[in-house]
Amino acid sequence: MREKDQKLVVESLKLVAKNWKILNVLSAGEYYGGELADKLGKSAPEVSLRLKKLGEKGLVGSHQKQGERRKYFFLTNLGNRVIEAVTEAMQLEPEGKLEEWQINNLLAILNDAKLGESVRAAYSGVFKKLSHESPIALIEHAGVRETIKRIVIHPTVYQFNANLTQSVSLLLSNAVQNQKWRDWAVKDIYPILIENIESGNEKTKVWAIKQVVKLATLGSEPKLTSDVRERLLELWFSDDTDVSSNFGNEVMEQLVLVCLYGGSKNAQAMFDELKSKASEEMSHLKEKAGALLGSLKECLLPKKQIGAATTRYSTRQTGTAENVGTS
């Protein structure tokens, strides 16, 4: 490949990677600019600039409906082919296609309480490996989705639960970024996680909080992100949450993630609420608002300037979940 052609390919790949969320949303249908900005949780000028660049490369087109002044944007044939090619590449199985009989046997062993714990624990390691290598192939299996649901309902049931809860975390992270399975993650799994946050023990609550933050920050659903922000802030300001406790620190870290990766409108709403509460006369609200504001400093930096401290949050956002201990 000539150097000039190679440079064009690299630039095109960078453009697709940088604007993947826009392309992914448009793969489901056309949107006008403001509507697309709201769905992505970004400012209209930023989305407009990105759409212009995508249009210049022939990936996105636009048209005006009769009687309307606003433009509607859609994926061109080239844009659809790019989405299909990238999605297919992301789902390639590294060692061949995972077959249904293999998944069936894996699930049968994991769910058979009569088998020895050591055997089931060993196979939970296989499940975790496949969750890394073939997440979409697993999610597409109805039995796997039912298993995910059972684990989410009772994350502390299995004594060998570390591999399983980490697998669920990985699978949910992939599902919410996949147009086909996003609704399943949000409609079927999210409400169960919320129940765990409201009524589970402390370890279950922490695990569930981390999962809802992943759903909110890795997907493209502003309403979900807003709901998670409001619920976590309510939990933070609750009399039951001690800001100096391990649980309080976990809630704070997840709120930082929501601020960093939940979109500009969501971050602005968080700052508005915290600034308001920090100026109230109620001392406990003022103290908690001030403590959280002190942790959000890096949210005001451009993404490229976010320091090493934030890297820790980012790693925890996309990495595996911690073990959920039994109680």
pLDDT of residue 3: 62
pLDDT of residue 91: 56
- Three-class DSSP category at 94: strand
122 compared with 158, residue with greater pLDDT: 122
pLDDT of residue 120: 83
- Three-class DSSP category at 61: strand
pLDDT of residue 228: 96
Residues 6+ apart with CB under 8 A from 4: none
- Confidence at 8, pLDDT banded by 50, 70, 90: low
90 compared with 100, residue with greater pLDDT: 100
225 compared with 14, residue with greater pLDDT: 225
* Side-chain-facing half-sphere of 75: CA atoms under 13 Å: 20
Distance CA 245, CA 311 (A): 23
pLDDT of residue 315: 42
Distance CA 23, CA 25 (A): 6
pLDDT of residue 148: 95
Residue 283, pLDDT above cutoff 80: no
The answer to whether 41 and 262 are in contact (CB under 8 A) is: yes
The answer to whether 222 and 255 are in contact (CB under 8 A) is: no
81 compared with 54, residue with greater pLDDT: 54
**Where do runs of H (alpha helix) occur along the chain?**
3-18, 20-26, 33-40, 44-56, 77-90, 100-110, 117-133, 135-139, 142-153, 161-176, 182-184, 190-199, 202-218, 222-236, 246-261, 264-278, 283-295, 308-318
Any bridge partners for residue 173, and if so which? none
Residue 21, pLDDT above cutoff 50: yes
CATH 1.10.10.10 fits domain 3-90: yes
Residue 59, pLDDT above cutoff 60: yes
Q: What is residue 322's DSSP assignment?
A: P
Q: What is the pLDDT of residues 284-316, one digit of tens each?
A: 789 999 999 999 998 998 765 444 333 444 444
Mean pLDDT, rounded, of the chain: 83
pLDDT of residue 84: 78
Closest listed residue to residue 221, CA positions, set 155, 276, 177: 177
Q: What is the pLDDT of residues 137-167, one digit of tens each?
A: 999 999 999 999 999 998 877 544 688 889 9
The CA R_g of the chain, rounded to the nearest whole Å, is: 22
What pTM value is reported for the model? 0.68
* Side-chain-facing half-sphere of 148: CA atoms under 13 Å: 29
Torsions phi, psi of 112, nearest 5? -95, 100
Distance CA 143, CA 55 (A): 41
28 compared with 287, residue with greater pLDDT: 287
Residue 71, pLDDT above cutoff 60: yes
Residue 327, pLDDT above cutoff 90: no
Average pLDDT over residues 212-239: 92
Residue 318, pLDDT above cutoff 60: no
- Three-class DSSP category at 52: helix
pLDDT of residue 7: 65
Residue 324, pLDDT above cutoff 70: no
Distance CA 247, CA 203 (A): 9
Place of tokens 């949210």: 299
pLDDT of residue 154: 84
Residues 6+ apart with CB under 8 A from 5: none
- Token pair for 266: 């969501």
